[in-house]
């Protein structure tokens, strides 16, 4: 069986390189001997209902509106989620998964997909910069996640959504000290980077969630060593940057 990793509307929600998240999922499956196919779907093309993981990336205001309309009309994403697939949504993709979001200086409210119990409204200032969060893994252990956020919307969670991670450095949702939201197999978060190349443990979590089983350790020690080295560098940079900012206040 070939697993389908589906990138949804790259032309609308692809301005931050978030397609890299899909490539990471594909390679981490293939390295373990599991066939995987990366599928790009654009507006007007049917979203396959048999995807393993669906990915939504970052985009501009008008792109969010267009994406919601196209996804509602298509129905393939909803069918895939009903069948047990995972949805990983970043920034604008995260916002449009909620009940509503605002667009433009007049803060016009638009209806979202309603997949996450969240609402997004324009904040007092834009969140731009490195973000460091603490994510609790299913086994209870804690994992540091790094990324880059760039968003003007602040997101509030309803009672049917859990926060994804706790913010140590950065803004995240901007309302509760957390970043992102989780509901079942749907995860929304703000960091770009793309985030999955930066945080391979999160990539494997998405795959395990979609497959319904634990994955074997990655049989690529060279990749693991390189990931660890880059990860330590990023952690050092973001913490050093914060310390310098605090010293100049």
Of 213, 215, 209, 126, nearest to 174 by C-alpha is: 126
Say how far apart CA 15 and CA 100 lie, in whole Å. 21
Distance of CA 107 to the CA centre of its chain: 24
Q: Is the peptide bond before 194 cis (omega within 30 degrees of 0)?
A: yes
Say how far apart CA 186 and CA 225 lie, in whole Å. 30
Read off the pTM.
0.93
Per-residue pLDDT of 214-236, as tens digits, reads 999 888 878 778 878 888 888 88
Say how far apart CA 56 and CA 164 lie, in whole Å. 16
Confidence of residue 243 (pLDDT cuts 50, 70, 90): low
pLDDT at res. 246: 57
Of 123, 71, 125, 62, nearest to 92 by C-alpha is: 62
Per-residue pLDDT of 63-83, as tens digits, reads 999 999 999 999 999 999 999
pLDDT at res. 184: 96
Looking at per-residue pLDDT, the higher value among 247 and 39 belongs to: 39
Per-residue pLDDT of 170-220, as tens digits, reads 999 998 999 999 999 999 999 998 999 999 999 999 999 999 999 998 888
3-class DSSP state for residue 76? helix
Strand partners, 129: 149
CA angle 181, 26, 162 (to 5 degrees): 10
* DSSP assigned state of 126: E
3-class DSSP state for residue 228? helix
Please identify, in words, the CATH class of the domain defined by 3-247. Answer: alpha beta
pLDDT at res. 73: 97
Q: Are 123 and 106 in contact (CB under 8 A)?
A: no
| Average confidence score pLDDT of the chain | 93
pLDDT at res. 222: 80
Strand partners, 119: 100, 156
Q: Are 101 and 110 in contact (CB under 8 A)?
A: yes
Q: Are 48 and 4 in contact (CB under 8 A)?
A: yes
- Distances, alpha carbon 46 to alpha carbons 76, 79, 131, 241, in Å: 7, 12, 35, 44
Using a 10 angstrom Cβ sphere, with 0-12 exposed, 13-18 middle and 19 or more buried, the burial of residue 135 is buried
Per-residue pLDDT of 12-61, as tens digits, reads 999 888 999 999 999 999 999 999 999 999 999 999 999 999 999 999 98
| Structural domain boundaries in the chain | 3-247
């Amino acid at each position: 069986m070939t697993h389908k990793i589906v990138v949804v509307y790259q032309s609308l929600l692809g301005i931050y390189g978030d397609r890299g998240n899909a490539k990471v999922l594909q390679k981490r499956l293939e390295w373990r001997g599991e066939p995987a196919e990366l599928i790009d779907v654009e507006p007007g093309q049917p979203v396959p209902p048999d995807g393993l993981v669906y990915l939504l990336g970052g985009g501009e205001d008008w792109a969010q509106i267009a994406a919601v309309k196209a996804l509602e009309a298509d129905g393939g994403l909803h069918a895939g989620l009903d069948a047990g697939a995972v949805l990983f949504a970043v920034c604008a993709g995260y916002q449009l998964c909620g009940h509503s979001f605002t667009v433009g200086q007049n803060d016009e409210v638009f209806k979202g997909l309603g997949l996450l119990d969240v609402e997004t409204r324009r904040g007092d200032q834009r969140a731009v910069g490195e973000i460091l969060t603490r994510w609790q893994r299913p086994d209870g252990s804690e994992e540091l996640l790094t990324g880059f956020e760039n968003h003007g919307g602040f997101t509030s969670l309803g009672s049917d959504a859990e926060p994804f991670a706790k913010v140590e450095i950065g803004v995240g949702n901007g309302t509760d000290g957390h970043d992102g939201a989780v509901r079942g197999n749907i995860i929304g978060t703000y960091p770009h980077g793309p985030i999955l190349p930066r945080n391979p443990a999160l990539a494997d979590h998405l795959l395990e969630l979609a497959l319904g089983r634990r994955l074997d350790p990655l049989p690529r020690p060279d990749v693991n060593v390189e990931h660890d080295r880059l990860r330590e560098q990023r952690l050092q940079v973001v913490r050093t940057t914060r310390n310098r900012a605090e010293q100049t206040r």
